A and B are shown apart, each in its own frame.
Chain A
């Protein structure tokens, strides 16, 4: 609220034409969208396996998945550099393939996914564990294979838990700072997301920093609300009646 008190709406809107601000906004939205898509696509099946299968090393896997939650972002940044950096563990392999990760958008996406992913995974594992296994069994005996059972029974029942987890992950990812600045740097238009731009402008143009902070608040709130509404949306009674009326 203090942010909105410091800057008038006119100046806030005025800053939207500042290329530094628009670059950062576009980059933040783009990298967040891609990073969250990766988190959902990789995290959902991984969480389902961790929630439903009992195998050796499962507890260890869960600890590893949750570890980034406890790590300071700076450590995550160092870790990413040590793994994917030019001189890192996989750096040699990557550069021989002609891939250079440091200081690129891919690096931003990787950092966001790495830091935000565990928030989604945690929520998703809990959501999948809460699905009654008798319902899964019932679906199978009714002729549905594993895949169909997952999409028609497990996913709809876990949906609100998944939405809550993804909302947290999204919020964490959008505000990502430490790991990104260390691993991807802060190049305007390439790796400078909103939080990085705020930090960069803090000394130079405090008004711009304020405007971007306000923008981040608005964007986060809007996206969180949209996400929750989209993922938690369930067919209402009148809608389902309509559907059955068609099928009769």
Chain B
């Protein structure tokens, strides 16, 4: 499970409370039948009795100990050779943390946390200390590890894509409150509010909804344009549409197009991501294939039409 949210949302605090490093004014932490913290009953186990493997954001490896000694620290004299092997750090056993790369440090931190045989794994921003190149690789490895471990894992990150790649369930945390907890696909299909939607990468437009004639809701945007949605709503709403639901055209096809919603705008940016291209047209971001971007000769400064279907348009409360 992952918790995502902007900085200051309280993500790290949740991990510290679970690990026993921070005492909340009120609360309860339990693993199965084992109660770790219950302020109402005055129960509070110290961190060393909680069997929670915490991987710190900056890894917090002991600088005065070798890799081997770091991993063996919590292993209670059990041999750690197999763990070093598994994390491909055997050859670094005698090295000190200062000599390791970011990816290696993370593997040592993970091995050290697992050497304790924890019953829950806690990961604080596991990818934020890595450079972009290492990050993609480590994310894949970490996802694989979390699948293999058969250990409940709670990770926090400010990056929704990391959370969706690593966790089966994602909770969106804002200002200490859990806004929505659901599998990533569910968050995208049915975001509970505008914040959740924009945090998961959707376009969010503000407008006023009015029940139209027929089955569609009409929304008048603040900028004056009218959009249509298959969702029902009235009053102030957020219009949510994901970049991959938006098509881009250089001319407006008019009634010949099944997509009801058309926004005309200047192309503000064109960003290539692997085989796709993200194009910002007026107020919305569209995701198109690299080949169609080339065919349409999309470039900054040009004028384009962003079109999307009424059925691909969610209406949500704004906050």
Contact = CB atoms under 8 A, between A and B. Distances in A.
Interface in A125-174: 132, 134-135, 137-145, 152-153, 156-157
A237 B99 CA distance: 13
A230 B171 CA distance: 53
A234 interface: yes
A99 B58 CA distance: 55
B76 A143 contact: yes
A59 interface: no
A142 B94 contact: no
Nearest to B109: A138
Interface string B36-64: 00000000001110101110101011111
B74 A140 contact: no
Contact of B62 (A138, A141, A234, A241): A138
Given A240-B94, A241-B94, A244-B68, A143 B48 contact: yes
Given A143-B76, A143-B116, A137 B47 contact: yes
Given A132-B60, A134-B60, A157-B63, A140 B68 contact: no
A141 B19 contact: yes
Nearest to A157: B64
Nearest to A237: B94
B294 to A, nearest CB: 48
Given A140-B46, A141-B54, A144-B73, A135 B62 contact: yes
A244 B53 CA distance: 24
B198 interface: no
B20 to A, nearest CB: 8
B66 interface: yes
Given A156-B64, A240-B66, A244-B68, A142 B73 contact: yes
Given A135-B62, A234-B64, A237-B94, A142 B56 contact: no
A244 B48 contact: no
Contacts of A53: none
A248 interface: yes
A134 B58 CA distance: 9
B206 interface: no
B73 to A, nearest CB: 5
B58 A142 contact: no
B81 interface: yes
Contacts of A144: 48, 73-74
A140 B94 contact: no
Given A144-B74, A234-B64, A138 B56 contact: yes
Which secondary structure dominates chain A's binding surface? helix
Interface residues of B, number: 30
A178 B60 CA distance: 47
A141 B64 contact: no
Contact of A145 (B16, B46, B64): B46
Interface in B60-109: 60-64, 66, 68-69, 73-74, 76, 81, 93-94
A236 to B, nearest CB: 11
A242 to B, nearest CB: 10
Interface string A208-248: 00000000000000000000000000100100110010001
Contacts of B68: 244
Interface residues of A, number: 22
Nearest to A244: B68
B182 to A, nearest CB: 29
Given A134-B56, A143-B74, A237-B94, A153 B62 contact: yes
A156 B66 CA distance: 13
Contacts of B94: 237, 240-241, 244
Nearest to A152: B73
B112 interface: yes
B253 interface: no
Given A135-B60, A248-B81, A142 B66 contact: no
B21 interface: yes
Nearest to A159: B64
Contacts of A152: 73
Contacts of A241: 94
Contacts of A141: 19-21, 47-48, 50, 52-54, 74, 113, 116
Contacts of B62: 135, 138-139, 153
A28 to B, nearest CB: 35
A244 B19 CA distance: 30
Contacts of A248: 81
Nearest to A153: B62
Interface in A102-138: 132, 134-135, 137-138
23 contacts: A132-B60, A135-B62, A137-B19, A137-B21, A138-B61, A139-B73, A140-B20, A140-B47, A140-B48, A141-B20, A141-B21, A141-B113, A141-B116, A142-B113, A143-B48, A143-B74, A144-B48, A152-B73, A157-B63, A240-B66, A241-B94, A244-B94, A248-B81
Interface of B: 16, 19-21, 46-48, 50, 52-54, 56, 58, 60-64, 66, 68-69, 73-74, 76, 81, 93-94, 112-113, 116
Interface of A: 132, 134-135, 137-145, 152-153, 156-157, 234, 237, 240-241, 244, 248
